[in-house]
Amino acid sequence: MNAQAPQSAPPSPYSSAVGKSNTESHTLSVLVDNEPGVLARVVGMFSGRGFNIESLTVAEVAHETHLSRITIATSGTPEVIEQVRHQLERLVPIHSVTDMTLLDRAIERELAMVKVRGKGENRVEALRLADAFKARVIDATIESFIFEITGAPRKIDDFVDLMRPIGLVEVSRTGIAAISRGPAPI
């Protein structure tokens, strides 16, 4: 029953009586009215209540109806994830919140651009790996490449890890977009 908090913060007897060891990552898909301030509301709710944001993407998805989809990767115990969902649902301009992680076989994708610097054998190795990951070369100089790669976040993590010893310079990632499989909408 007792919370296992990190050393720096002593466990508060008022903190939620659930362990923090069973932390899970969840991806939430949030359909919102595309009105000024809506992203600030969502982000402010996360920071104000101490929830995590691991990645966040937002873009308009239906121009005529002014709908945007915000996809948020968050982490916490199942109780915290449930709170996050309910707190999102309370925000007035929010249409729906779907926990994609609880959906059967939802698809999650992310795009990354990965800059690698190197010469000689390292260049050949970088290209070989990119090929194996189906990453495309979108920029090249005699001493660098930029690869574009899409896939599940884990695949991108793996690719980046492999590039590190070869000469990784920097990475720019879009954050996760998610959708459900099959004909029905989310």
Residue 185 engages another protein in binding (rule: CB under 8 A): no
> Using the 8-state DSSP alphabet, how is residue 7 labeled?
T
Residue 11 engages another protein in binding (rule: CB under 8 A): yes
Quick one: which H or E segment has residue 112? strand 107-117
Which of these ranges, 29-37, 112-120, 139-147, 160-168, lies near another protein under the rule CB under 8 A? 29-37
Residue 170 engages another protein in binding (rule: CB under 8 A): no
46 exposure class (CB count in 10 Å sphere: 0-12, 13-18, 19+): middle
Q: Which of residues 86-105 bind another protein (CB under 8 A)?
A: 86-87, 89-90, 92-95
Least distance (Å) between residue 32 CB and another protein? 8
CB crowding 85-103: b at 16 or more within 10 Å, else e: bebbeeeeebeebbbbbeb
The per-type count for the chain, helices as H runs and strands as E runs, is: 4, 9
> Using the 8-state DSSP alphabet, how is residue 82 labeled?
H
Which of these ranges, 8-16, 109-117, 162-170, 173-181, lies near another protein under the rule CB under 8 A? 8-16
User: How many residues belong to the chain?
Assistant: 186
Residue 17 engages another protein in binding (rule: CB under 8 A): yes
Residue 8 engages another protein in binding (rule: CB under 8 A): no
Residue ranges that bind another protein, judged by CB under 8 A: 1-3, 10-18, 33, 36-37, 40-41, 44-45, 48, 79, 82-83, 86-87, 89-90, 92-95
